[in-house]
Amino acid sequence: MATAIPGVDPDNHRHQTTPDTIASLRDRLKTLRKMDDYLGGRDTFSLYIDEANMAADLLHGGTHSTATLQALLSLYAESAQQAGWAAFDAGWHDKARALFERSHAAAIEGDHHDLAGNALALQSYQQLTIGDPDPDLTRRSLTHARMPGVHPGVRALPYDRGAWTLARAGLVDETTSALGRASSALDAVETAEEPTPDYAAWIDRDELLIITGRCWTELRRPLRAVPALERALSRFPNSAARDKALYSSWLGRVS
């Protein structure tokens, strides 16, 4: 795969990193990420971990300018998150946790609060799957999301995921606040000068309605849950069968 990237020697990554190399890797990760809409983590993990490993090799393969180092740290953090998400989807929780932690460390080193917040949001989301909600992880992710310069589309992501953690922990007021802040962030996307980074671009009004319905279902507020779920599911594409089936089950649970 490395032969497809300009400036990357698959047998020797030292001193090969250029802006074109990084841009090509970002574009390829963006293309590969689309597979997550149709395939499970067991099918995609090997592709995503290859991207993360290549970014890591470039990162440690030579001396970089400050700008190049920051760009590589961002690329690695994003790639590791995608690989971690695939591992999480496959049920490989130790691998997922390690990748989320490495992603967070790289984002912190590069001063990328957007990716640092998302890494913690992913960890918090994972904790729910193993039955151990961690509101403190969510609160830490939201601290990053509130930092100056974080794109509103990215800011919506940890608020959206965080609301679910907070709801599972039974924290009604904090859940309400997180849902409201996610909505405000999506409002701000409409007037943002830059497009939302690709890894966060899937968060939209329908996704927020889904998480809103799930939160109010968990908090036993059916009069709030049902309209949100019904409105989102009426517009959800049939091509996303896995997600639509999951979200429909929440409507069945609350009805």
pLDDT at 105 over 80: yes
Q: What is the pLDDT of residues 16-26, one digit of tens each?
A: 688 888 999 99
Q: Please tell me the distance from the alpha carbon of residue 115 to that of residue 77, in angstroms, as a whole number.
A: 7
Mean pLDDT of 95-105: 97
pLDDT at 27 over 50: yes
pLDDT at 189 over 90: yes
Mean pLDDT of 154-170: 94
Q: Model pTM?
A: 0.86
Q: Please tell me the distance from the alpha carbon of residue 116 to that of residue 103, in angstroms, as a whole number.
A: 7
* The pLDDT value given to residue 10: 47
Name 147's Cβ contacts closer than 8 Å, sequence gap at least 6.
Answer: 113, 117
Q: Please tell me the distance from the alpha carbon of residue 66 to that of residue 21, in angstroms, as a whole number.
A: 16
Q: Is pLDDT larger for residue 104 or for residue 3? A: 104
Strands of 45-183 (E only): list them. Answer: none
* The pLDDT value given to residue 245: 78
Q: CB atoms < 10 A from the CB of 6, how many?
A: 11
